[in-house]
Amino acid sequence: MALREFKLPDPGEGLTEADIVTWHVAVGDTVKVNDVVVEIETAKSLVELPVPFAGTVSALHVAEGDTVEVGTAIITVDDGVGGPAAPAAPAPAAAQEPAAPAASAASGSDGEEIGEGLIGGTTSTGRTAVLVGYGVKQTEAVRRPRKGAAAPAAAPAPAASPSPAAAPTAAPAPAPVQKSTNVSISAQPEGATGARALAKPPVRKLAKDLGVDLGSVTPTGDGGVVTRADVEAAAAGAGADGEWSHAYADGDPDDITTRSGADRMGVREVRTPIKGVRKHTAQAMVASAFTAPHVTEWVTVDVTATMDLVENLKRDREFRDVKVTPLLVLAKAMCVAVRRNPGINAAWDEAAQEIVLKHYVNLGIAAATPRGLVVPNIKDADRMTMRELADAIAALTATAREGRTPPADMSGGTLTITNVGVFGVDAGTPILNPGESAILAFGSVTRRPWVVGTGADERIEPRWVTTLALSFDHRLVDGELGSRFLADVAALLADPARGLVWG
What separation, in Å, do the N-terminal and C-terminal C-alpha atoms of the chain show? 67
Task: Give me the helix-helix angle, 304-315 and 326-340, nearest 10°.
Answer: 120
Neighbours of 16 (CB within 10 A): 11
Q: Residue 266 carries which DSSP code? A: T
| Residue 359 designated active-site | no
* Cβ–Cβ < 8 Å for 32, 138: yes
- The runs of H, that is alpha helices, within 211-344 are 228-241, 261-265, 276-289, 304-315, 326-340
Nearest to 234 by CA among 216, 257, 249: 216
Catalytic residue among 24, 280, 294, 474: 474
- Cα angle vertex 357, ends 476, 375, to 5°? 80
- Residue 33: left (phi > 0), alpha (psi -120 to 50), or beta? beta
* Cβ–Cβ < 8 Å for 339, 502: yes
* Cβ–Cβ < 8 Å for 432, 417: no
The alpha carbon torsion through 111, 113, 118, 124 (nearest 10 deg) reads 170
- Return d(Cα 328, Cα 9) in angstroms, integer: 37
Amino acid at 220: T
Residue 161: what are its φ and ψ, rounded to 5°?
-100, -5
* Cβ–Cβ < 8 Å for 43, 277: yes
Distance of alpha carbon 402 from its chain centroid, rounded?
A: 8
Residue 181: what are its φ and ψ, rounded to 5°?
-105, 0
Neighbours of 442 (CB within 10 A): 26
- Return d(Cα 189, Cα 166) in angstroms, integer: 12
Neighbours of 492 (CB within 10 A): 27
- Return d(Cα 280, Cα 42) in angstroms, integer: 9
- List residues with catalytic annotation: 474
